[in-house]
Structure 1
Amino acid sequence: MESKISVIVPVYNSERFVSKCIESIINQIYLNLEIIIINDGSTDRSTQICEYYAKIDSRIILINKQNSGVSDSRNIGIKVASGEYIGFVDSDDTISSNFYFNLMELMVSNNSDVGVLGNYLVNTRNISILTNQETYFLDGIEAKSRLLTLEFPTSLWAYLYKKEIITNQELNGQIHFFEDFDFNYRVLTSAKKITVLNKHYYFYNSNEYNVNSESLSGRKLTCLEIYNLILNFDERLDIEKAQFFRSHFAISMIINLSKHSVTEKDYKKDIRRECVTMISDITKSSWVPLAYKLLIVMFIVFPSLTTKLLSIKYTRKIKSEGTKN
């Protein structure tokens, strides 16, 4: 008998996309699924849509709860899951009908703890994080090493896990941006064998409702805490290599600051304070690109000028793209 896969789908105000998402899961050619939908206090028609699908497919478990965030929803899903394997799908995305069948076939035949997609589509645009080799295998040490330089997928939806490897793990509810990175680093530390499949099986829908599109906020800034979490977790952490993702997250916040009209000066101060904290480490690291180092130094010395220049560059890019369209 096929092993059961528990697919966890956190839902919050996704009425425009959730039907296609659920249908792409129930139409999998791999039939032994448990579909756990966590409705995180939606205030739109998402609740009614999820209730409809729960009535027509007995494999669906619908949990309605008060809004507490995507990490809490995923943690609840992990606790409820009865499958031998666990996967995640975001409620505004869809998956190919043979996604779980093909990935499970490879994982089972090679006795892998984790299966990973190294290729996916963002609004029809191909994103390839890993090598062009269709299928290959590596251990957790190599995988988490690549994760430090963002050369390995960070998002939960790109992974299929043996339940036993994540049963004692949970997402940190205090981290609200790049929270998957922290979770997967801990999981990969325990993984012995990982299967990587470079196929277009996941379709990421980048839209105005994604967290990536949100304005800068205190919630987003929590990603700057991830470095210390991993430093405290892993006594064997490659500190020099880890400066890459540490500086990358800081750069992301600086760019985010320049894209949006943020009136809270404290955000600028918070980012600058973190940049000052890391500057000594990142300047010594050969893994951090020179462009990253220069931008962070410039932001420390001239925070307002740096964000203004980046804002002008971003505005010109938008206008140029608009002209092309």
Structure 2
Amino acid sequence: MLISIIVPFYNAASSLRCTINCLLKQSLKDFEIILVDDGSQDNGLSIAQEISQTDHRLVVVHQENGGVSSARNSGLRISQGQYIAFVDADDSVDDKMYGELVAKMQEKDADIGVSGYCINGKAVCDLRKHDYVFGSPEQIHKEFIIDMLGGPGSIFPVTASVGRFVYKKDLLSTHNILFNTQIGYHEDFVFGLSALTRANRIYLDGRPFYNYSYNEIGRGVRHKLEKKIASHRHVINFLSQMKSSDCFGMSDNYASKIIFFNGTICENICKMEENSIYKRIKMLRMLYFESKSFLEECHSGKCLHPKY
């Protein structure tokens, strides 16, 4: 089996059939599609089971609701492919994506392949290079990860959403890289950075093969702020571990990412419909103290003020 495409879904009956049919049109034929039902309350599971009867390459898994990270891990654990990809149940993929990326990854001996992407059908360019190989860990850090983190030296902000990535399964297995089920917000960032920092070679293809279906209203309310802040704690711990093993002088970049995440949560707090000023202040204080120690370490003991 060349590639396993893992599709977690929860109450996605309206889009699931379209996403599956899109994947079945891939020019690459040696694949399996692992459909993981995360305790859906609609008829998504029935749709997955129905389509699986028509193509032996579809594998359907049902589990109690545990979140997207748990569902992806379930698919990853039973995957048979040499390469791994993840697709959200409301997204779509160009029919050449996996054939083109896997072929180039094999040719270049790359651990990870990355494509360009679209949002609601509109192409987005966030890659410095096209048809390009980062051939060493140092180059990966200083020319790719730096853009994912932001801060000094970065040029283009690179999205960490896993849909546009293809991973060599050996890379994930060797380093026991799974999604952190305690993180319900920025879980893609943590998983992606865990893989990228352990890769030796990465291949980039700037063509927009992956299309994210983005609904600002729907995705904006998906996570309650309390859960975002709780997830933030785990992200800070993760970045602290990354910083402690950093060999490429990127502490300021790790700090920049935390500041960016803080900014997005602060913006959401300010937009809360909740009328309680006390509750907003409590959340802002919690966010500040969660980040303070890490940012002070990154800046050599210089105390940062809440204005970030």
With the length of structure 2 as denominator, give the TM-score of the two structures: 0.85
Task: Output the CA distance in 2 between the equivalents of 1:24 and 1:227.
Answer: 37
Question: Where in structure 2 are the equivalents of 1:160-175 lying within 5 Å?
Answer: 160-167=166-173, 168-175=176-183
1:123 to 117, 120, 123: 120
Amino acid of the residue matched to residue 26 of structure 1?
A: L
Distance 1:280 1:185 in 2: 21
Q: Name the counterpart of 1:53.
A: 51
> SS of the residue aligned with 1:57?
coil
Q: Which residue of 2 aligns with 1:144?
A: 145
AA aligned opposite 1:275: Y
Name the aligned partner's letter for residue 172 of structure 1: N
For structure 1, the 5+ residue unaligned runs are 287-292, 299-325
1:135 aligns with 2:135: no
Determine the C-alpha separation between the residues in 1 that align with 2:188 and 2:243: 17
Number of residue pairs the alignment of both structures matches: 287
What's 2:268 paired with?
Answer: 256
State the alpha-carbon separation in 1 of the partners of residues 62 and 36 from structure 2: 6
CA distance in 2, matches of 1:262, 1:107: 49
- 1:131-280 to 2 correspondence within 5 Å? 131=128, 133-138=129-134, 139-141=136-138, 142=141, 143-149=144-150, 151-167=157-173, 168-207=176-215, 210-214=218-222, 216-225=224-233, 226-237=235-246, 238-262=250-274, 266=279, 268-276=281-289, 278=291
Give the deviation of 1:20 after TM superposition: 1.1
Distance 2:75 2:184 in 1: 18
Say which SS state the counterpart of residue 184 (structure 1) adopts. helix
Kindly state the Cα deviation for residue 258 of structure 1 after the two structures are TM-superposed.
2.7
Greater displacement, 67-76 / 206-215: 206-215
Deviations 1:199-250 (A, max 9, x none): 1111111126854443633222234221222212552333222111101111
Sequence identity (%): 25
Q: Unaligned stretches of 5+ in structure 2? A: 151-155
In 1, the alpha carbon distance for the partners of 2:76 and 2:293 equals 39
- The alpha-carbon deviation at position 75 of structure 1 amounts to 0.7
User: In 1, are the aligned partners of 2:243 and 2:254 still within 8 Å (CA)?
Assistant: no
Change (3 A) 1:260 1:214: farther
Taking the aligned partners of 1:79 and 1:258, their CA distance within structure 2 comes to 40
Contact 1:11/1:40 (8 A) holds in 2: yes
Greater share of helix residues, 1 or 2? 1
